[in-house]
């Protein structure tokens, strides 16, 4: 049965010893067990949110008392005209890139100073804030979708997997609610300019959102401009639109998608 497409993007052996000997004696009849009310097991979501007692207090202290302070700081990150006093152990826990850079015969390791020149200082601050609090704020007041795409970019460059996934989720929320805004084409441009073609994390999200709202988006000048100027983005859309290509497999979730027309209304279908 054909189901209407709701979400094209996916939401991401044990060894045994020898068999024990089994007794052939009939086990004794157990005493009757009184009925015990069943207790529902916690859901995976609730388990993932459970944390040791005092964890929130620890994070609050880490962020408020140690981020960008002299207290035990042993390395400085410099971006534009700002200096951030941070801790090598925090950087190394989040990033293999920084762990290597600060633990070898490198200039940064010797001088205890890292210079970042290819990102706005606000993006660098968001990266560091996440390392100390597992959260970040848009400190520049820019479009959320554009800002989150830039945070994704810095997380990718400095190999911070948790921040990369977190910024991806925030970006997805931003474009889901803000796809009709003028900033959406700009966000598409940032995504395709700042990520390699094999990194489908944000690319598949903007393609999916564009397909779901294509009729409306085609009426906007900004979206038309991005179709003309971003060859990679257009190339990702075309296989879903070509009349001779009715079925296409999504590169990120392996779902088969059909782009068809019914009574003049373009529709997306999920065949899994």
CB atoms within 10 A of CB 226: 22
Q: Is 76 within a domain?
A: yes
Q: Is 249 within a domain?
A: no
Quick check: pTM over 0.85?
no
pLDDT tens digits, residue range 241-259?
876 554 455 555 555 554 4
Q: Is 161 within a domain?
A: no
Q: Is 63 within a domain?
A: yes
Question: Cβ-count burial of 186 within 10 angstroms (0-12 exposed, 13-18 middle, 19+ buried)?
Answer: middle
Tell me 134's DSSP state: S
Q: Is 71 within a domain?
A: yes
Q: Is 3 within a domain?
A: no
pLDDT tens digits, residue range 8-45?
444 333 333 433 443 444 445 444 544 434 434 344 44
pLDDT at 116 over 80: yes
Q: Which of 67, 73, 75 is nearest to 112 (CA)?
A: 75
Q: Which of 67, 59, 62, 103 is nearest to 84 (CA)?
A: 67
Decide: 117 and 155 in contact? Cβ < 8 Å.
no
pLDDT at position 139, please? Answer: 79
Q: What is the number of domains present in the chain? A: 1
Which residue has better confidence, 154 or 258? Answer: 154
Q: Where residue 92 sits, what CATH number does that domain have?
A: 3.30.710.10
- The backbone torsions φ and ψ at residue 213, rounded to the nearest 5 degrees and listed phi first, read -125, 30
- CA 237 and chain centroid, separation: 22
Where are the extended beta strands (E) located within the chain? 3-4, 75-79, 82-86, 113-115, 247-249, 256-262, 265-270
Distance CA 139, CA 125 (A): 9
pLDDT band at 172 (very low <50, low <70, confident <90, very high): very high
Tell me 62's DSSP state: I
pLDDT tens digits, residue range 195-249?
999 999 999 999 999 999 999 999 999 999 999 999 999 999 999 887 655 445 5
Q: Is 67 within a domain?
A: yes
pLDDT at 124 over 90: yes
Q: Is 95 within a domain?
A: yes
Distance CA 233, CA 5 (A): 21
Distance CA 213, CA 231 (A): 20
Domain carrying residue 94: 55-120+130-137
pLDDT tens digits, residue range 66-89?
676 778 888 999 999 999 999 999
């Amino acid at each position: 049965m054909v189901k209407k497409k709701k979400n094209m993007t996916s939401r991401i052996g044990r060894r045994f010893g020898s068999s024990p000997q089994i007794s052939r004696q009939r086990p004794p009849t157990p005493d009757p067990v009184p009925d015990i009310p069943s207790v529902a097991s916690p859901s995976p979501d609730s388990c993932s949110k459970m944390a040791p007692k005092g964890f929130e207090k620890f994070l609050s202290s880490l962020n408020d008392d140690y981020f960008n302070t002299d207290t035990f700081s042993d390395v400085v990150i410099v971006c534009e005209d700002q200096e951030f006093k941070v801790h090598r152990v925090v950087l190394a826990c989040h990033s293999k890139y920084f762990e290597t850079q600060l633990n070898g015969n490198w200039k940064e390791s010797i001088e205890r100073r890292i210079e970042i020149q290819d990102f706005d200082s606000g993006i660098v601050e968001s990266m560091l804030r996440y390392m100390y609090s597992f959260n970040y704020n848009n400190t520049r007041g820019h479009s959320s979708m554009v800002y989150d795409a830039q945070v994704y970019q810095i997380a990718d460059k400095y190999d911070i997997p948790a921040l990369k996934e977190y910024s991806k989720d925030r970006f997805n929320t931003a474009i889901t609610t803000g796809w009709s805004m003028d900033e959406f084409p700009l966000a598409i441009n940032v995504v395709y300019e700042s990520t390699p073609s094999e990194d489908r994390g944000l690319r598949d999200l903007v393609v999916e959102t564009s397909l779901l709202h294509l009729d409306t988006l085609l009426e906007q000048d900004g979206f038309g401009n991005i179709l003309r100027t971003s060859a990679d983005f257009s190339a990702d859309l075309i296989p879903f639109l070509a009349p001779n290509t009715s079925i296409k497999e999504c590169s990120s979730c392996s779902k088969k998608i059909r782009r068809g027309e019914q009574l003049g209304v373009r529709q997306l279908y999920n065949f899994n």
